Structure 1
């Protein structure tokens, strides 16, 4: 892990959604396992880890190939919609301390945004359910991009809309794919480890275990 820089002029903070804004990973895995089980497919922990932070149809196609009968991606997605999802059908709430952290940053003039691989419909639904839409200046979702994380396209798009230089941005990510995307976009990356799921965060600049710790470590980096 790289050393802490004492003072930087950071004016923007961008957040991943899953595992950072909301602890969705376990619930998402539950719904995915249920859908795959309908086709006789068992999801392993390793396979679940390969999906974190990504929206890669080729990985899903590989999982579907394990079925004893041919399953199209369309058939599987129809089954997923039938079963439900975390964002619309489960109890969701922001990570402890997140809302107060964002509000404090915004009081200081920091602009905030979300860059996620999850679809627009689900993210907007979840944010509305938590009354958090007004806390973000930009929201970039997976279906707004032609390339998914670890490609930096989503972060570069958010920076362009905000008029932000990469050197002015802090990104909070929890997955290796997300961290790599943010670093490739030129941002300073804080790995958020508060979801309780251990992932490879070695490419991040710093790590934080909670938003209280995040506030303590990041306050010296902004403005």
Structure 2
């Protein structure tokens, strides 16, 4: 199955930047240790979800020991150093973006992260012009793993989801993209090496395979 050649939608966390390991540390140190009332959640249960919806999920499934306001404030505080100082850009991202643009493709970021977090990454790494930057907070619908954010992104760009390629790394994100109808590439990195990503149309094991999947 060949990838469409219209629009490429990139998830941010775990794809464009290596933020997931840092968020997993935060989950171990605060979310699962102090914010969850009981039980032992796994990282893959919440990875890819918007952090407000993470709270709702944990509250319903395990119970919570902090207020939602405290939970949200902790995420925002952590985000400043995480994106501003710690993360690095995906290997070969600048060249990949340039080559996709030269090939006539339109590029977008579609993320569960708030626009303020995405802006830190865009400013720090100078990702250039993007046709769309969409946050889960920009839509009035449930976030990943529901398909709405990718359906909305396609509509904003004037195409059908089937004309889009999505690059995702999390189980929740892959499910969201596949359910929308988009051609979905799972990007395998260290943080998700043990996860079953087979729901995606293609699994790219590193930057070279990602390039092959996008250019066919």
Q: What TM-score, normalized by structure 1, do the two folds share?
A: 0.82
Q: Where does structure 1 lack aligned partners over 5 or more consecutive residues?
A: none
- The answer to whether the aligner puts 1:124 opposite 2:122 as a matched pair is no
Alpha-carbon shift at residue 50 of structure 1 (Å): 0.9
- Structure 2 counterpart of 1:65: 63
**Structure 1 position 15, deviation (Å):** 0.9
Alignment of structure 1 residues 103-114 onto 2, 5 Å: 103-114=98-109
Question: What is the CA distance between 1:141 and its match in structure 2?
Answer: 0.7
Partners of 1:35 and 1:76 within 8 A in 2: no
- Kindly tell me the number of residue pairs found equivalent between the two proteins: 211
Q: Bigger radius of gyration, 1 or 2?
A: 1
Q: Structure 2 unaligned segments of length 5 or more: list them.
A: none
- Whether 1:177 and 2:172 are equivalent positions in the alignment is yes
Aligned-pair CA distance for 1:171: 0.8
TM-score with structure 2 setting the length: 0.85
- Determine the structure 2 residue equivalent to 1:204: 200
Relative to total residues, which structure has the larger helix share, 1 or 2? Answer: 2
Task: Summarize the Cα distance change of 1:191–1:44 in structure 2 as closer, same or farther, 3 Å threshold.
Answer: farther
- The structural deviation recorded for 1:135 is 4.0
Q: Spell out structure 1 runs of 4+ moving beyond 6 A.
A: 42-45
Q: What SS class does the counterpart of residue 197 from structure 2 fall into? A: coil
- Aligned mates of 1:16, 1:58 — CA distance in 2: 22
Residue 78 to residue 178, structure 1, CA distance change in 2 (3 Å):
closer
Q: 2:96: which partner in 1? A: 101
The residue aligned with 1:214 is 210
Q: Does 1:78 align with 2:76?
A: no
Q: Which has the higher contact order (CA 8 A, sep 6+)?
A: 1
RMSD of the TM alignment (CA)? Answer: 2.6
CA contact (8 A) 1:152 1:181 kept: yes
Q: Decide which of 176, 189, 198 is 1:194's aligned counterpart.
A: 189
Q: CA deviation at 1:76?
A: 2.7
